[in-house]
């Protein structure tokens, strides 16, 4: 009985300490989209991705054409030439797979460019969030953008605008130029190959300390 009572008292004490801690939330998507350096870096990354996708598609078309030619002519080829063509086709397929890994595989060109272009801005945002958390004595800061389980948050506990102000940006201001503001003569033609990659963003490690 005493043991059970002791465990219950310990549980109540720990719960009281937990409720006494301060919490806040932040929206990293909102913050990052308000920073011109980040949106420009994202556009540059998207351009790299589009170029690499086109490069891979060209290689794939080359492999497909080689395979189609072989299948059409194989019944006319002697065994030695047929074997050589099979080896050439296999080599091209391996080159394509190697290029895919180089561009989009783990620690590939996409990961490296993401770290080069996006991570410096993300690190600045993280450091500023950490600074606000220390100054305001917040025990936890939850990211509304990254947490699908956060069903409700009170605006007064959202420190996103405070983080933006410390970073030197005006809250609520879009990093995108207003429509029609740019000179029509200097507008670049749109690239039909460009495809938006929503999964190209590197998640901000808000739950990890430094």
Phi, psi of 142 (to 5 degrees): -95, 145
β-strand pairing of 138-143 with 22-26: parallel
Q: Is residue 55 domain-resident? A: yes
Q: Is residue 179 domain-resident? A: no
Q: Is residue 204 domain-resident? A: no
- The string of pLDDT tens digits covering residues 126-157 is 999 999 888 888 888 888 887 665 645 667 77
- Sign of the CA dihedral 72, 73, 75, 81? negative
| Domain range for 129 | 22-170
Q: Is residue 99 domain-resident? A: yes
Interior CA angle at 206 toward 42 and 160, to 5°?
70
Q: Is residue 27 domain-resident? A: yes
Global pTM reads 0.65
Q: Is residue 191 domain-resident? A: no
Which two three-digit tokens encode residue 195? 């495809």
Report the distance separating Cα 196 and Cα 49, nearest Å.
9
- The string of pLDDT tens digits covering residues 21-65 is 688 889 999 999 999 999 999 999 999 999 999 999 999 999 999
CA 145 vs CA 29, 38, 171: distances in Å: 6, 16, 17
Bridge partners of 26? 143
Reduced to 3 states, what is the DSSP secondary structure of residue 184?
helix
The count of domains in the chain is 1
């Amino acid at each position: 009985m005493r043991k059970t009572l002791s465990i219950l008292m310990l549980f109540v004490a720990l719960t009281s300490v937990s409720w006494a801690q301060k919490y806040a939330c932040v929206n990293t998507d909102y913050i990052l989209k308000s920073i011109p350096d980040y949106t420009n870096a994202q556009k540059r990354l998207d351009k790299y991705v589009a170029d690499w996708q086109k490069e891979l598609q060209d290689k794939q078309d080359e492999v497909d054409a080689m395979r189609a030619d072989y299948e059409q002519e194989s019944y006319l080829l002697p065994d030695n030439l047929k074997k050589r063509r099979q080896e050439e086709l296999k080599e091209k397929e391996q080159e394509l797979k190697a290029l895919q890994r180089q561009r989009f595989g783990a620690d590939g060109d996409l990961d490296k460019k993401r770290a080069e272009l996006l991570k410096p801005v993300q690190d600045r945002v993280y450091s500023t969030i950490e600074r606000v958390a220390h100054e305001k004595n917040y025990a936890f800061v939850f990211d509304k953008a990254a947490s699908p389980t956060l069903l409700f948050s009170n605006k007064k506990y959202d420190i996103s605008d405070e983080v933006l102000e410390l970073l030197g940006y005006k809250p609520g201001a879009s990093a995108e130029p207003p429509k029609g503001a740019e000179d029509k003569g200097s507008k670049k033609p749109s690239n039909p190959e460009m495809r938006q990659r929503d999964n190209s963003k590197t998640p901000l490690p808000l739950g990890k300390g430094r």
